[in-house]
Amino acid sequence: MADDTQAKKTRPKRALSPKRKEQARREFLRTSVMAAGVVGFSLLGFLPVAQGKTLRLRPPGAIKTPSDEKDFLSSCIKCGQCVQVCPVQAIELADMDQGFAIGTPYIDARTQACDFSCDGLQCVLACPTGSLDHALDYPADSRMGFARLSRPKACLAIQGKGFKGLARGAEYKGLLRYDEIDRWNPIPVAEHPYDLELCDLCVRQCPIEIRITQCAEAEKQKAGSNQKVERVAKQYGNECPPKHAIGLEEAVAPDGTRVMVPVIKDGCVGCGVCEMICPPEPPAIVIDIDKITDWV
Amino acid sequence: MGYIVESFRQLAGLDPSRPHPEEQADEVLSVYKEKRKTRLTKAALEAARDEHHTQCCDKWQRRRWATLILLNLLFVVSYYFDIQILEGALTASRFVGFHMADLNSALQVMLAYKHVVLNLVIGTVTVLILWVILGGRSFCSWVCPYHLLAEWAEYLHVWLVKRKVIKNHTFDRRARSVFYLIFALLALVTGYTVFETISPTGIISRALIYGPGIALVWVGGLLLFEVFYSRRAWCRYVCPIGVTYGFVGLASPVRVKYNIVDCHHEGDCRQVCLVPHVLDVTIRGKAQDLNSDIGSDCTRCGLCVDVCPTDSLNFVIKGLGKQS
């Protein structure tokens, strides 16, 4: 019996004919080339990452530092649930030219910024892997980037000009929420003409500044009804008001005249609405992703 | 136990083991002996095929294509009409709010990121249980959108081979195990989800839902490679997703069962199969028992069940219905 099992195991393999041998040799070569090709191609995905080309404005809560997105890229499962829940469709997914960053969410602020009109950071809540960190509770705590007045000469406020008409033209597809029009549904910017004596769009539309205004109003109401102001903060655990993000401040121009200049402040989270709404093309104000407010 | 060991061998890319005559049941040997008495003529085989054609032929294929298309469509319409039934993409999603995560994508993320949040655990376990129930690699043939495109490319390939325009080139099946290890190691070592970069399953799923991109050029290239050079190359020799679900299938009760009694051993089933090695048992002399379960590398696509002229291959759910 023991001999039997032994025989079974050591049954000799039939010797291959020369033709079969040649076939097997070729198959082995083919397989090696194919394996090297597929693995090599997949590793090409490291190039854009190594060159820093994949650094982008990411949705709120992305676990990254201004110069290192490694944790974000590795933890993202590339499913796009954040894309689906965004009420203004600010989030897009990276393509294959982004290598390992394929399928990761980013925001092109000029096309459509994040205006936090979901209030509850829906993208963060939707993220199944914690790539957008669930520890982030409030828009004012997000750190996406930081605004910079990149072309002061183009800024209408600095030129002392007002703004009348559609901020980005009639063809522009972007959405923003205007509380006074519809609290729950963002509308196309192209359906909302402005008439401003001095252009202050970047300040006026800043979600953080809007929040500060809301806080002030709530405070006023509470004061009128003898309720304690702190209750707002206590109820929601939300710092109210948050720190200022941007404001128009008087400055003296080189020629001695007094002008109003947009000044970016500590409260800026880099959501990109200022870049989105700025009328000149290209915009006078942009979001830098290489710094966030805690770093400046 | 034998099923798991044998399935694992086949998944790993080793040749299916051939039973020693002493291991074969007496009934099996006598069936083979009986069959040797009457030679199968071409006419008799054609008659059997014709008779089979009058009854049915693509029942499982139709069901499968419908399921695959509807499921992928459900992702699209959920987003497009904002009905929130199936949100996300095949890599991870929420089905009416419940987390789901593709097992291979989740594995890549866990290996690369090295932290796991609870939602991902919930999603992964849900999907694991789901596919243990549903048959492991049935994910491939019933859900994966690349599988369907590759199936169509395969028709073209087979047609071209038949007309002698091209030749099929096979690869070593063990390559897939090597790929599986390489991509797992790459995720672990580099800290990036390297495989996701080239995974046609994720790429097509996202393209369907969020719109096409240049990544589809890669998918097109893969399909061309399969049409003109090597039949079903990606699924057969590369895709680690198939291996992951193959492991899951080891524990699945949904299997294809082979019965040797009426089988003509003509090999029609192996002609249509994505993973023909799992059907080696249908070759004359290779069965151990009257009934054999097809190994877990089987994608439960049902093409063999559809094509078999003698009804020798059938879907079974272990532990349900009549046992043999």
Question: What ipTM was estimated for this complex?
Answer: 0.91
pLDDT band at residue A295 using 50, 70 and 90 as cut-offs: low
Contact B269, B206 (CB under 8 A): no
Interatomic CA distance for residues A203 and A175, integer angstroms = 17
Taking only the tens place, the pLDDT of each residue in A237-255 is: 456 788 899 999 999 888 8
Cα–Cα distances in Å, from A83 out to A88, A127, B136? 10, 10, 29
Reference A55, options A45, A40, A66, A71; nearest CA is A66
Q: How far is B143 from chain A (nearest CA, A)?
A: 16
Count interface pairs A-B at CB distance under 8 A.
153
- Residue A36 token pair: 């090297």
Q: Mind listing the pLDDT tens digit of every residue in chain B (324 residues)?
A: 588 999 999 999 999 988 888 888 989 999 999 888 887 888 888 888 888 888 777 899 999 999 999 999 999 999 999 888 999 999 999 999 999 999 999 999 999 999 888 999 999 999 999 999 999 999 999 999 999 999 999 999 999 999 999 999 999 999 999 999 999 999 999 999 999 999 999 999 999 999 999 999 999 999 999 999 999 999 999 999 999 999 999 999 999 999 999 999 999 999 999 999 999 999 998 999 999 999 999 999 999 999 999 999 999 998 876 544
pLDDT band, very low/low/confident/very high, at A126 (cuts 50, 70, 90): very high
Query: According to the model, what pLDDT value does residue A6 have?
Result: 45
- Cα of B100 to nearest chain A Cα, Å: 9
pLDDT recorded at residue A7: 45
- Are the Cβ atoms of A74 and B192 closer than 8 angstroms? yes
Give me the pLDDT at residue B216, please.
97
pLDDT at B11: 92
Based on the number of CB atoms within 10 Å of its own CB, is B130 exposed (0-12), middle (13-18) or buried (19 or more)? middle
The Cα-based distances of B64 to A221, B90, B239, B243, B299 in angstroms read: 61, 17, 20, 20, 11
Q: Closest Cα partner for B312 from B270, B277, B251, B274?
A: B270
* Of A57, A44, A151, A143, the residue nearest A98 (C-alpha): A44
> What does the alpha-carbon distance between residue B90 and residue B86 come to, in Å, rounded to a whole number?
10
What is the reported pTM? 0.90
Tokens of B17: 């083991």
Longest dimension (CA), chain B: 65
Name the pLDDT band for A12 (thresholds 50, 70, 90). Answer: low
CA atoms B33, B34, B40, B46: torsion sign: negative
Decide: residue A12, CB within 10 A, 0-12 exposed, 13-18 middle, 19+ buried: exposed
Q: Residue A102 corresponds to which tokens in the numbers above?
A: 């394929």
Contacts of A202 (CB under 8 A, 6+ apart): A147, A246, A262, A273, A274, A277, A278, A285
- Rounded CA Rg of chain B: 21
Please state whether the peptide bond connecting residue A282 to the residue before it is cis, i.e. omega within 30 degrees of 0. yes
Of B92, B175, B191, the CB nearest to A128: B92
Chain A residues at the B interface, defined by Cβ less than 8 Å, are: 4, 8, 11, 27-28, 30-31, 34-35, 38-39, 41-43, 45-46, 49, 70-71, 73-81, 83-85, 92-93, 95-97, 99-100, 102-103, 126, 128-130, 134
C-alpha distances in Å from residue B36, one per residue of B32, B251, B285: 6, 36, 11
Contact A80 B209 (CB under 8 A): yes
φ, ψ of residue A241 in degrees (nearest 5): -85, 155
Confidence of residue A146 (pLDDT cuts 50, 70, 90): very high
Which residue type sits at A163?
A: F
Three-state SS at A285? strand
Show me where the domains of chain B are located.
Answer: 2-7+23-55+256-317, 62-247
pLDDT for position A228? 54
